[in-house]
Structure 1
Amino acid sequence: MVQRILFLHGAGPQPGPEENPVLQAVRRRWPDADLVAPALPDPEDPDPDQWQDAIARAIREIPDEPWMIVGHSLGGSEALRFLCHRIPTLLQRVVTVASPCWDQDDPDWNYLGFTLPATAGRTLADLDIVVVHAEDDDVVPVTHAHRLADRLPSAQLLLLGSGGHLPTEWTERGIVP
């Protein structure tokens, strides 16, 4: 049983915790879990190194108990990038929601500071990863979910017909212990 959930928000203007539909859906689905949602630095102009440092600080605060990560948008891709370098103990699952897959060959999504290492598929092969994406996401195209699934062949891909960039239906499907 998951006792703690680390929620990592995305880039851009951030709503308050009570206005974030993804965060609220996670709270409704796992009301007994301790939900940790740190404010990541400068979300309107994110720096990859600062986000990695903030994620490391948040993870260091998690006690030795079963836990999971839910990362929305950039928070999801940065969680994966962090885990490529160090996998903490007792991490049970990683759920990325509407997360970009940065790619040097994509002119709109080629910022190399956020790209996954080429070894990500092997490094993360033993982690339980779910890639959630809505087909009607108008911020991060659904092609990113397919690219993530290609780069992380052991990940489960969950495509939703709707939900835009803030899909919540996945929390009702019981995909997480």
Structure 2
Amino acid sequence: MKKHVLFIQGGGGEEDYTADAKLVASLQEVLGETYLVHYPFLPEEPEPDFGRKKQIDREISLLNGPIILVGHSLGASMLLKYLSESQIRKKIAGLFVISTPFWSGDEDWKQGLKLNQDFADKLPKNLPVFLYHSQDDEVVPFDNLEFYTQNLPQAIVRKLLKGGHQLNNDLSIVAKDILSL
């Protein structure tokens, strides 16, 4: 039986989906045939969280067995929001978040993206969490990683020197961590 990986894209448009498809292909290639990486297109909906929590819940409900969650950029932050604010009915085997923005500020459009202050306490117990961020990320500042490092002390943190926001479209480091579970 194949192991299921659900990859949640960054951004919300087709351009972001196409860009992240390269990450998905890299991940699937290294994981091999015993894993199936699911990559649904999640369009932005007119909701404060762009409809992400509802979309993630729907995608998780379609999968059987333990699920490995991988998110990039906005998708990574929305996985954290979903896991900390929703009733989780499926076994989540691991959480792997890449280039994760920390949403702060008073702008109206950010309010539905922000994590609750106690988000870390609300994550499923004993959930393996892995954080990845490149120091030369040109989209999400590297110092956003510090927020997550402080709030998720149990997480394994991978600080990468190079790779930019897309980690050079190479998720072999993420795949190796998934394979280590």
TM-score range normalised by the length of the shorter chain: 0.7 to 0.9
Q: Structure 1 residues 69 and 2 mapped into 2: Cα distance closer, same or farther (>3 Å)?
A: farther
- Unaligned 5+ segments in structure 2 are none
In the alignment, is the contact (CA less than 8 A) between 1:2 and 1:66 conserved in 2?
Answer: no
Q: CA deviation at 1:171?
A: 2.2
Equivalent position of 1:36 in the other structure: 38
Cα distance in 2 for residues equivalent to 1:153 and 1:88 = 25
Q: CA RMSD in A?
A: 2.5
Equivalent position of 2:99 in the other structure: 98
- Length, aligned pairs only: 171
Equivalent position of 1:142 in the other structure: 142
Cα distance in 1 for residues equivalent to 2:17 and 2:90 = 31
- Percent identity, aligned pairs only, is 25
Cα distance in 2 for residues equivalent to 1:23 and 1:77 = 17
Equivalent position of 1:119 in the other structure: 118
Q: Structure 1 residues 22 and 170 mapped into 2: Cα distance closer, same or farther (>3 Å)?
A: closer
Cα distance in 2 for residues equivalent to 1:69 and 1:2 = 15
Please tell me the residue identity of whatever aligns with 1:101: F
Which has a greater percent of helix? 2
In the alignment, is the contact (CA less than 8 A) between 2:48 and 2:111 conserved in 1?
Answer: no
Spell out, residue by residue over 1:59-97, the C-alpha distance to the aligned partner (whole angstroms, 9 max, x if none).
11111x122011011001000100002334321111001
2:16 pairs with one of 14, 37, 53 = 14
Cα distance in 2 for residues equivalent to 1:15 and 1:89 = 25
Equivalent position of 1:26 in the other structure: 27
**Under a length normalisation based on structure 1, what TM-score does the superposition of the two structures give?**
0.85
Please tell me the residue identity of whatever aligns with 1:134: S
**Under a length normalisation based on structure 2, what TM-score does the superposition of the two structures give?**
0.83
Please tell me the residue identity of whatever aligns with 1:121: A
